[in-house]
Chains A and B, each alone.
Chain A
Amino acid sequence: MNVVVPLPRTPAETALIDGARRPAAIEALRARGLPTRRVESWHYTDLKTLLRNLPADAATPAALPPVLEGSAVLAIVDGAPRIVAAPAGVDVSALGDAGIAALSAPFGADDAIGQINLAHVADGVRLAVAADATLVAPVEVQFRSGRACHARVSAAFGAASRAVIIERQSGGGFSTAVCDLNIGDGAEISWIVVQERDDKAVHLGQVNATLGTNAKLNLFVVNEGGKLVRQEIHARAAGEGSEFRLRGVNLMAGGAHVDVTMTLTHEVPHTSSTAVVRNIVTGRANGAFQGMIKVARQAQKTDARMACNTLLLSDEGGFSAKPELEIFADDVACGHGATVREIDRNHLFYLMARGVPERESRGLLVKAFVAEIIEELDNEGLVEALEHRLDRWFSAHG
């Protein structure tokens, strides 16, 4: 018989369990503690060890100019939605207790983010984009917090709607954010996560998306801050003809630990997905990408591609990639690849031979590595804004 003796509770576990607003939501966690590396989906991020203590509170950032000029800004400040005038075509309301109770439950015992968030979240925002609506300006949802903060967004995009939403994670301390996206038939949605939390922050995020018939979701994740970050993506290609696209840029410096974990299920025939994650590792930073693509038995003609490429700029840093395919259909095209490399010294020589100093040459090459996927974004303003952030990050950490 296998007797599992629970490990002693850490201060973080005590705080999360005892302080829960909805104790029932955190039952599994109470029984088993935060996941350790022995839990498969947390193998590269031993949350129990990495989050022994919740981080200290930090200052809550004041209003920020949006990433993309001209965006309509909605703020969730220390967990409290501040709803001003909603942009045309979007219906915005606070979720409140009743709204939260109606949301989907955590995925299961290993879903630590879902449990913590549901156990603690006080409020959130419901976004509803009307069918056929095309938002003229992007909507930026600013999650700004300094105190332990748990926020929730439930977004429904009507059939054939078009929208660009920016999920901006700013501030410090401990934060969780769960965003549920329901993409209606034929809708084309870009959801851009810009995580710029400070270098002591712990952030646990989850984007859960369901795609209807012929729906397109372009999910872009930029992690450029935080001490301990895990961004989960759980997507379901539930309607025929749907297309899911993930692009991820992880910029890791200092002692940061950044984990992007994706599970993607192709549930019906004729759906496609591409996932490309590019990582820059400097200092003692560590990262992981886990990508699980599941193809259901009936999901014939699925086309799914996944790649994870890492540029390692220091000997002390590291990155682990674990792509997995679980395919039950027999007529599919699926593939994955992972690479880890250093800066190409031939390229470096070429740039330096033109008089570009070494540091600047490295900067150009590093930028090139991630700019390739940023430039795929079909939005010039956004490309420029993200490249500008990249320059800023590199001048601070390069």
Chain B
Amino acid sequence: MPLSESEIDSLLRLVSLTEDVEINCEQCLAAVAEFAEQKLAGKSIREALRAVEHHLSVCAECRAEYEALLRTLNNIGGQGEG
């Protein structure tokens, strides 16, 4: 069956963001903690983390996990742990 118009809309967005080489969810998870800390600190992102940023733009699941992680980061910093 054909996709609905809103699904086509989402797909067009995803296709426009598609790159030849992308990291997968496992590779994203391995580096997302560093990415989240750098973003929160307002630091410029080192080149290797660009792939994480891109993955988060095309993967809804990893993006939800990243947003949840951001919610905890002040907590982690406030405790002075790790």
Are A and B co-members of a single complex? no
Binding site for A on B (CB under 8 A): none
Binding site for B on A (CB under 8 A): none
